[in-house]
Amino acid sequence: MSLTLVVFAGFYQAARHTVQYANTLTQALRGQLVLLHVNRASMFDPYAAVPEHYHQQELARQTETAAALYRMAEELPSQSSHRGSSY
């Protein structure tokens, strides 16, 4: 059974360093690295009281964030497989 590390991925330098460290550790242990980026945690619908165009802008930002997360994963030295998720 292989080890899977789930790492919270961000775009600040400290978060990028953490992802690189986790990647090195995962390679040494011959495991799998999963990058996770969380945009927001909310108990209510943040779009309930705002016009639709705000929701569309947020969706566009989420698409850009997901693309940046996949680029981050692709730039990591690879001896194991990487997956990225953005929530």
At CA 12, angle to CA 10 and CA 14, rounded to 5? Answer: 95
CA distance 35 to 19: 8
Mean pLDDT, rounded, of the chain: 84
Q: Does the predicted model carry a pTM greater than 0.75?
A: no
Residue 12 is classified by DSSP as: S
pLDDT exceeds 50 at position 80: no
In angstroms, the first-to-last Cα distance of the chain is: 27
| Strands laid side by side in the 32-37 sheet | 4-8, 32-37, 82-86
**Tens-digit pLDDT profile for residues 36-78:** 988 776 777 777 788 888 888 888 888 898 899 999 999 998 7
